[in-house]
A and B are shown apart, each in its own frame.
Chain A
């Protein structure tokens, strides 16, 4: 081949290759072949990542067993790192139309998913035939995923916030681990004693960045009896005595008592890293925060206990609840929706199976005995079965959560447009935690204006 011809051929190959690769990039996988074989294929995200060896093995075992019981269903699992706890990644996949047939979302994600036009109405499919425990699932959780009378997702996890405290630090500070603080005044006094231990220990720790500050402001506001938005959801409703009290409590602890440590602007992993290192006496969190401390941040279960969220002068008037669910991608066939519901029922909503397989989890050091997920209604058959299994197989000391469980606080859901509001409220939280001269009135007024602006833009 002469040189010019060779160059022409090379150039043609280059163009053809490039074109093919671009086409390949934009080609979606097609399950037509599988459908032709008479099987229904569903893709599901949030398969545990490779580093979570036991969780991944459990998931894969569940897939094998589920497919054995349902030979006509093929479950294809997808795992992309931290995809299931990463709002930016979730938004990108939603906007890009690359979500799986069944896709995970927070309870606060419903509006975002509906706006994207990717959620399927599953009202007619979700029932006892597809999900045997459906009647036991807490109706309040179903309501969270309902819009205009239509159900768009199945709840698979639910939590509520309380006061998480380090028993070891309590004992070292001379505090009674069986009598944790019940009011914010008591939290303040205990935090002072714990921080007096020195060595960089924060008596009480709080978030103020990455939307987590706003998330916790909401929880603390609920403890005062407040709400983030007015009942009609049209205006901000935190620039009042209760909102001021939340920030004043924190400012008093941070700069009055110096009991919150030097390092602020914390977000989720920052606080738990400090907690895992034994540098945090108390913080507001859900029961699974202790699980994260152990599995991700080298802490120990036996060091941690939980109490209900404190109130200002007595019991808290409310606490924040939230959770997760699985949405169904628009355009699925009825067979795929039914198959997806069956999979969720098996893996997430059946006592003794999947996430409730406590017999399997117990020897794996995966915590059994935490008072969550709270998926089933009080007194329902599924709840009774789940509680019995949990008690019989507990590998964490349930006594550590007994005070929390015995003193339930009314649960309030997250506000509409929660993530955007939390982002605004971060500034108010960071203000009182980083500026000794912070003006609480001005911080709340600014946040109120911003939230009202956000809500106005939503109309």
Chain B
């Protein structure tokens, strides 16, 4: 038998019942905390951690973006840092590069894992091994994976892995990271290879939740593989697809390690400079922490905008 209690009137065992009739009562905050001491204690720990390591740096960043420090004296400068950052010729280059990378990552990094997951889902044998194989690159530290690409795959000479393959196929070779035109596609290819495993596993889990009867019905209706994907798989995984698209946008717009390692920072003629790298450059190479903070806030606003659009769209869909 289930025992029900009115919130805030929990009776302790062994005590006599209250002479007053139960009903809506206002309980003090102190009482609420005392009643759930353990929960609140754990909550305080989490709040302290978040406040100290997440919220404080964020607020501090916003404050710094309106300040300037010279000779140890910090003064309020209003929007000066923002004006300065936006007037920096690298500002628009970095945003252009960032959007280009994000779009390429959406086309390649988003679509490829989905189709790999569908492919893996179709296999009848050795599923476990194949999943491990797909997931393996995720276990490699990102820096190591990118160094592999930098020194072996993207070597601009004929000895490079990709150039050897192109040469064997009698195709023109590439300068890869040294070519301003190839910088972005090359970074997206490396990034996709590195990060694909996690997305594939999430897609696989979603695919396996699709009732088999839907496919059987579609097959009975004469649907081929593409129509099954279009009319069954995609609608059934719609929510997870939308979620990962959003995460993909937010994550790829903050790309940093790819230009840092593959392109030694800015790449050929600034073709690799991302907004995140520009923040790093302003903060740590140009002695401009206030400008870096302003750029960080601009990025925060843009990403928050994307997230808001996602929340709006997903709530409408629900």
Contact = CB atoms under 8 A, between A and B. Distances in A.
Nearest to A264: B178
A19 B48 contact: yes
A179 B11 CA distance: 99
Contacts of B156: 262-264
Interface string A424-442: 0011001100110010000
Contacts, number: 131
A431 B41 contact: no
Given A11-B38, A18-B49, A457-B84, 20 more contacts: A8-B38, A11-B37, A11-B42, A14-B41, A14-B45, A15-B44, A88-B280, A88-B285, A91-B283, A117-B71, A117-B72, A264-B156, A419-B286, A423-B286, A434-B175, A434-B179, A434-B268, A450-B90, A453-B89, A454-B286
A430 B267 CA distance: 8
Contacts of A60: none
A189 to B, nearest CB: 24
Nearest to A424: B90
A243 to B, nearest CB: 16
A265 B269 contact: no
Interface string A157-172: 0000000000000000
Q: Which of A4, A14, A200, A457 lies at the interface centre, i.e. has the most chain B CB atoms within 10 A of its CB?
A: A457
A373 to B, nearest CB: 25
Interface string B132-150: 0000000000000000000
A119 to B, nearest CB: 9
6 contacts: A12-B41, A262-B156, A430-B267, A434-B175, A435-B179, A453-B87
A263 B90 contact: no
Interface of A: 4, 7-8, 10-12, 14-15, 18-19, 22, 87-88, 91-92, 95, 111-112, 114-118, 200, 209-211, 262-267, 270, 330, 417, 419-420, 423, 426-427, 430-431, 434-435, 438, 443, 446, 449-450, 453-454, 457
A200 B73 contact: no
Contacts of B288: 420, 457
Interface of B: 37-38, 41-42, 44-45, 48-49, 52, 69-73, 84, 87-90, 155-157, 175, 177-180, 263-270, 280-281, 283-289, 291
Given A11-B38, A117-B72, A262-B157, A420 B264 contact: no
B177 A423 contact: no
Contact of A423 (B38, B42, B268, B281): B281
B285 A435 contact: no
Q: Which of B49, B88, B155, B268 lies at the interface centre, i.e. has the most chain A CB atoms within 10 A of its CB?
A: B268
A172 to B, nearest CB: 21
Q: Which of B41, B88, B155 lies at the interface centre, i.e. has the most chain A CB atoms within 10 A of its CB?
A: B41
Contacts of A431: 268-269
Closest 10 CB pairs of A and B: A117-B72, A11-B41, A209-B264, A88-B284, A420-B286, A434-B268, A262-B157, A112-B287, A434-B178, A457-B84
B270 A14 contact: no
A330 B73 CA distance: 13
Contacts of A263: 155-157, 178
Nearest to B177: A265
Nearest to A452: B89
Contacts of B157: 200, 262-263
A16 to B, nearest CB: 10
Contacts of B268: 264-265, 430-431, 434-435
Contact of B266 (A111, A419, A430, A454): A430
Contacts of A8: 37-38, 41
B10 to A, nearest CB: 13
Contacts of A7: 38
Q: Which of B38, B69, B287 lies at the interface centre, i.e. has the most chain A CB atoms within 10 A of its CB?
A: B287
Given A7-B38, A91-B287, A423-B281, A18 B48 contact: yes
Contact of B269 (A18, A88, A427, A457): A427
A449 B284 CA distance: 22
A454 B291 CA distance: 11
B286 A265 contact: no
A118 B70 CA distance: 11
Contacts of A22: 48, 52
B70 to A, nearest CB: 5
A105 to B, nearest CB: 12
B52 to A, nearest CB: 6
Contacts of A11: 37-38, 41-42
Contacts of A453: 87-89
A209 B180 contact: no
A354 B292 CA distance: 40
Nearest to A118: B72
Contact of B45 (A18, A92, A427): A18
A116 B72 contact: yes
Contacts of A427: 266, 269-270
Given A11-B37, A19-B48, A91 B284 contact: yes
A96 to B, nearest CB: 10
B285 A423 contact: yes
Nearest to A419: B285
Nearest to A116: B72
A245 B287 CA distance: 30
Contacts of A14: 41-42, 45
Nearest to A422: B285
A338 B301 CA distance: 50
Nearest to B156: A262
B311 to A, nearest CB: 32
Q: Which of B69, B157, B179, B285 lies at the interface centre, i.e. has the most chain A CB atoms within 10 A of its CB?
A: B285
Nearest to B73: A117
Nearest to B80: A457
B72 A420 contact: no
A116 B69 contact: yes
Contacts of A262: 155-157
A228 to B, nearest CB: 15
B263 A209 contact: yes
Contact of A434 (B45, B52, B69, B180): B180
B266 A209 contact: yes
Contacts of A430: 266-269
A434 B65 CA distance: 36
A437 to B, nearest CB: 10
